[in-house]
Amino acid sequence: MNYENLLVEEKNGIAIVTINRPQALNALNVGTFSDLKKFFGEDALKIAELKGVILTGAGEKAFAAGADITEFMKLDVASASQLSKRGQDIFLLIERFAKPVIAAVNGFALGGGCELAMACHLRIAGERAKFGQPEVNLGIIPGYGGSQRLIQYIGKTKALELLLTADMLNAEDALRLGLVNHVVPAGEEVAKATEILEKIATKGPVAVQLVIEAVNAYFTPGELGFAKEVSAFGKAAGTEDFKEGAAAFLEKRKANFSGK
């Protein structure tokens, strides 16, 4: 797995993906988007027995400080729309990834960095993490789903305030508002994310995937979430995992899931 701007390390079935442009606070340039597309769209699917993915940023200062502003100067209406659509599509790959993806937010998660963290299924913030959508400072708006997902997580009232003022949220406020799942001491973000992925890995893998699909359906225009739940429930009931899980409960033993 070779990437321009990502480091990928696999440890005990968990892929740790690090955005590696610390000199630019891990700003998401076109090359980094291509890397994310290659990882989530191709390479991650080939990792045998993958439990999940942790996304983080290199260095101690940033998860990702946004889209790469140096690439903005050449944008026009058509190319900006294309950039936005491509970014949204790549972040959807993450949101729809069959295994849990956790953002380990070790510093600034601004603009595209906040949008990337929000596309992940769960977010762990280090105590020095900062979140925000400061695009209006540049006279532009979020383009990778930020105007939509921020509302999903923290509600319209607070989302509009952050989007309009470009204010940042610290880790504790992000926790209080429901943007992140946990706040941990700086440097312990990946360890906490690993602990959570290890816990999820003890559950039925097909059920885990179906939970992700059913929850995503709630937020997908045109999809009927309750209908999706009915079909996913039926699908889960047809798995060997369900028979094993139910039998293990009745036999008072730990389930041994096969993922089938």
Which residues sit at the interface with ligand COA, rule CB under 6 A? 24-25, 27, 65-70, 108, 110-111, 134-135, 137-138
Burial class (CB in 10 A: 0-12, 13-18, 19+), 144: buried
Reference 152, options 181, 119, 129; nearest CA is: 119
Q: Minimal distance in Å, beta carbon 62 to ligand COA?
A: 7
Q: Give all strands of the β-sheet with 6-11 in edge-to-edge order.
A: 6-11, 14-19, 52-57, 101-105, 122-126, 182-184
Q: Minimal distance in Å, beta carbon 39 to ligand COA?
A: 21
Angle value at C-alpha 139, between 136 and 143, nearest 5 degrees: 70
135 in active site:
yes
Q: Minimal distance in Å, beta carbon 170 to ligand COA?
A: 13
Q: Which one is catalytic: 9, 49, 95, 135?
A: 135
- CA 139 to the chain's CA centroid: 26
4 in active site:
no
- Cβ proximity to ligand COA: between 85 and 243 the closer is 85
- Cβ proximity to ligand COA: between 137 and 258 the closer is 137
Q: Which one is catalytic: 95, 115, 189, 213?
A: 115
Q: Minimal distance in Å, beta carbon 97 to ligand COA?
A: 24
Reference 144, options 118, 121, 166, 170; nearest CA is: 118
Residues contacting 123, CB < 8 A, separation 6+: 102, 103, 105, 117, 174, 179, 180, 181
Q: How far apart are CA 14 and CA 20, in angstroms?
A: 18
- Cβ proximity to ligand COA: between 27 and 36 the closer is 27
- Cβ proximity to ligand COA: between 24 and 174 the closer is 24
Q: How many CA atoms lie within 13 A of 228 on its CB side?
A: 17
- Cβ proximity to ligand COA: between 17 and 25 the closer is 25
Reference 193, options 52, 61, 63; nearest CA is: 52
- Cβ proximity to ligand COA: between 160 and 215 the closer is 160
Burial class (CB in 10 A: 0-12, 13-18, 19+), 54: buried
Q: Tell me the CA end-to-end span of the chain in Å, nearest whole number.
A: 27
Q: Minimal distance in Å, beta carbon 57 to ligand COA?
A: 12
Q: Minimal distance in Å, beta carbon 60 to ligand COA?
A: 11
Evaluated on CA atoms 252, 253, 254, 256, the torsion sign reads negative
Catalytic residues: 115, 135
